[in-house]
């Protein structure tokens, strides 16, 4: 059982919006920044969101992150077929002195 | 251009050892924390270990403590992962990643496959 809980899958039609939740505890999300990663099939992960809500310069503003308490959310608007991928949240756990990823969420564009 | 290139993967028998390397270019290794992250076939990401800029702090996931050792040679622009007492469950693609700070992995290598099997 992962320290961080994500839904296994989400789906929506092209142009629509999806949100992916990431639930943790006070020792991880509650007191540390959350990052989000996109992994396309057969490729290395790519950083989408850092410090819970910031985007690297090359990431389009269709991707957004937020955090509240012990949960975080990734939002993707204007869904495109190229967004079909696995998405992972990640954060440091202060009590365990280790970094954890969620189990991943597969995004399907219908 | 920031690049991280892993090497050293391969097939090893259970109980064996392997040393992975990560050669970096396009930035000064001495300025960044670096992590190793692995992904078993068809599974999700698992953080393995990280190391501070000067090597003075190292952290490991519980499942590899006492078996894996992370190290770095900033002068050679290289990061290492020494893996001993390997088990079938260590079979994975191993990525090295440059940490941005505040717990995010900003740049990733392409990964190297480690297969533990008899």
Q: Exposed, middle or buried by CB within 10 Å (0-12, 13-18, 19+), for B111?
A: buried
Which parts of chain B have pLDDT scores under 50?
A: none
For A83-94, give one letter per residue: b (16+ CB within 10 A) or e. Answer: bebbbbbbbbbe
Check A98 against B108: CB less than 8 A apart. Answer: no
Whether residue B103 and residue A86 make contact (CB cut-off 8 A), yes or no, is no
Per residue in A62-109, pLDDT tens?
999 999 999 999 999 999 999 999 999 999 999 999 999 999 999 999
Q: What is the pLDDT of residue B30?
A: 94
Chain-chain contact of B47 with A35 (C-beta, under 8 angstroms)? no
């Amino acid at each position: 059982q992962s320290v961080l809980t994500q839904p296994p899958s989400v789906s929506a039609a092209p142009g629509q919006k999806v949100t992916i939740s990431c639930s943790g505890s006070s020792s991880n999300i509650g007191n540390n920044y959350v990052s989000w990663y996109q992994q396309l099939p057969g490729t290395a992960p790519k950083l989408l969101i850092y410090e819970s809500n910031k985007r690297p310069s090359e990431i389009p503003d269709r991707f957004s992150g937020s955090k509240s308490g012990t949960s975080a959310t990734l939002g993707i608007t204007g869904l495109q077929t190229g967004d079909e991928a696995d998405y992972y949240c990640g954060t440091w756990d202060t009590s365990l002195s280790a970094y954890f990823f969620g189990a991943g969420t597969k995004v399907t564009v219908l | 251009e920031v690049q991280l290139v892993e090497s050293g993967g391969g097939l090893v028998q259970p109980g064996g050892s392997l040393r992975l390397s990560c050669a970096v270019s396009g930035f000064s290794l001495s300025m960044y924390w670096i992590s190793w992250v692995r992904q078993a076939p068809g599974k999700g990401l698992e953080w393995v270990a990280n190391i501070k800029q000067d090597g003075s702090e190292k952290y490991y996931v519980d499942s590899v403590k006492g078996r894996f050792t992370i190290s770095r040679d900033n002068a050679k622009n290289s990061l290492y992962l020494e893996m001993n007492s390997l088990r079938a469950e260590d079979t994975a693609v191993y990525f090295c990643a440059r940490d941005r700070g505040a717990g995010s992995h900003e740049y990733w290598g392409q990964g190297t496959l480690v297969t533990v099997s008899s």
